[in-house]
Structure 1
């Protein structure tokens, strides 16, 4: 035995992985993870340390009786008192074994991602057939499925996220819900554009990745090429000295599947996944659909707390009461704890994948939550109106004087253009600015690009390609900026402007207009509204406001609303009457309201 994996040695010696890593740390041995290998000399040292620990534990209990056999009777008579110390020592180890208030562990939630024909669904089907008691229908599904697999290490929950381009939305959501991402790559095909996208989504979600090289049973399989290609994405396999776990598998024969499940359990153990089944419930919508017979069905992944039939749930700005719950095997259940996927009947509207779910005590409480969310949404819409300037690369870089990272997604008309732009960006990096190209490709940006940009707070740069109308609309909805260039020097100028430090826009306060308050209108919901006459300039909603009473400034704040008669308006010109709603209720007749706005100043 020249080398042995750490977790294998831990299993042989009967200690847990954390204990083994502590011993290695004490010896100063470098390792990447529990799947790393160590030398035979290190193995012998570990065994010696464990033997010494075991000897120390037993010495106190056995030393006195051993001596007692050769000592006078008076000492022998006293010796039996010493073994009583053995039970006294046991409680020293019990606090670690039975913490009174420790949050229990939960099963890992795993998503399997990859190209559509690389065997992802076949791998899931093999795990279902061998690890799930109740049989389920196999084949490609048109929605995200979830099931629980029983292994020797415990339960593992799998989310099925199809690899089709059309289901990029679901794939992005799957990476965020899951604790571990399995990237499936065919041994005869290596990396594909959708594989790269799946890896980018997993990296953006900051979840541990395990690479499963599938179809190793084929004659043309070349796992080494896949490993080499992975290094080009800065994903270095453990056997090459990196920290990426790579497992060769065959969904057809089952080769390597047990090893894959073992690695999932090891990764979950190191992640120390916990959830309180008695805590406040929270969960995520995996999928929502309408069944012709049952009505609206929603699959929920329970993350914290426990769900019960009869509970009220709030999703977005709608709510429902759980009438029935079904587990992943199709059986009716009355409650579901953490890391449990359940199908729920009780929503009146189909919830969207990825939406968060929370519980409410009763229907009244659920309605209150919805009302608060509606108010918050309106406030956010108003805030977006105030931030008229679009989000730019400068905003992403943040304050000067810090090491900043800019996340970018590149799209261009040819591979040559992509490589040229990447070369330019690499040369523009400095000690203060790091440019991270998360994903690059040929062709117009896709909905998946927008979702990845949203997850990772990235900007999409396009060269000689333009986004489709639907993609642009989604980007606007999510607040993602897509910047298009036709001339490469314009893109270079943009990057130069960032690196040189011309980052923070300079604003100045500019006068807008003045109004006189002629009457105060009491409104039950909006508070006091200042019925005013605009005497100079103009008033604009979301402008800054200063209220003067005599010679004293009594209030400084914001114009939160403007009305002309009963209609909400954005602005009112000189010579018109209007209702000005301030976030302040002490306005009085005769007050003078002055409006200003912050305007970006052109810099030389």
Structure 2
């Protein structure tokens, strides 16, 4: 039967299985079964050897191409569209060798290969490398010069010829310390009441509007915040203006933001005109204010300098006509002109997302005339102008130089301070956006590379230190330090994660600048997980839920359905409209997350008068006879014994007695017997017994944002 099985055409696996079953049935090892196993192993070895011989000895056909070089073979670099000469160069062989290899590598095509023939099929090149006994790797063409990416960025036009210039209204920026009357002064000039609508009585946005003076001339005013948090807004206002009106309150004098405004105006190279406000208050000293300004480089005409200083009262509209005349005179001396034709150039003063209108940006036109249909690029945003509106809400068809307008029609919202440039078409705008995006990604890659290099150096140094320690231990194995660590370690450091949403880009920028002043070495980590302009959205709730974050909404609303959804998910949404109140709220949240610490609080104090032994059952115990000299002694409190200025015992009481009664408290000037938990400790007359307890103390963050 075994011979019949072996001579059959059945697979060897079935033959072996059948033989094994016969052995099991007969309960013996049949010699035919042994012979069958020997034959099966011989067949397997013969097949393996035959396959190797076919691969190694085949000299014609495609079998030669299947040859796989050994691991130690030379590695050569290949690239697309190599010529025959390129293949010969990388292999370091002559052309005849490549031509012979091509006879086997490319049999299907009828191409007549010459020295400069391009091999378009990459598989043919790979087969030539394998036939030559080498391995390959893909590399860039070393001879092909990498062409620099063409610059598609939009750039300002060259200066216009003198004959194209036309007179334009001056741009005046009102700057100064908080609560010195800047917005009130502007309200008096344009007969409005903006200050009544401001939260907290302070300006928190940069305002831009056009005012028609009694003389018929137009002036563009920029109102900047005076609060310390809005430094970036004041800097943008100073660099986008022609004249700076420095408002100084006569009762306060020169303050911190006054000096900062002077510095920014000097950096921008803009002339300064001083308005000494609040002169109607009794007891003000205008001369003292002027002398304070002179100490910081602003020498007014009253003190022999060249800076005009006009005492005004914005609230009672005193000397406003004199201030207007001074502004007009300064503008005439500067001979301000601009080119109203050509492509538009300007600057973004503020950007926001209106819940009804959409993405809006306040643009100050500096060159050209902005009209509907213009395609604009600004920073990372671009759009096609659909609507132009003034500060009063009137729709206009065009905006000449020195005119601030709200532009509606942005596809991507720009940031405050971005330069606005007009381009020829939307196609050109897309090219500009793509080029700028690529530049930002390159900059990010460079910065990430520096961080990676620093981390790599740090890890390499740690590895060398561990390796050196391992070598010094010799044959002893380096044991892991401490218990086995988990694969994933949870971060138990207290953290406050926040999401910031604001009404305008400038406000969000100011809040982020404040959060950056937080010291990361503090007891609580502050993490900004997301920020943006506009109302609270469902996406914000998803991010807050994922990071367990708080949402701070500054001057924006949270819709009722979203508020209900946030409440059900346990997400805290805090609405604020005054920036310093928002900062105080962040400080409170940080303080709540600081771990509580325990402090010792003294309750009472006693003097040891006598040490004696008393019988308690069949044993003697040590008792300290004491008199309470301060506060109260409590039975369940902690005790410390001080002898000669040093602490000799700390612990609890085992018993507290007054006369023969067990008591819980001993008041001042009362005598008592104290027995401590440690029976071996012996008190001595003259020792001081301090009774204290440990209380939890909540610390507050020491973060000082600077205001």
Return the TM-score normalized by structure 1: 0.46
Q: TM-score, normalised by structure 2?
A: 0.40
Q: Which of these two proteins has the greater Rg computed from alpha carbons?
A: 2
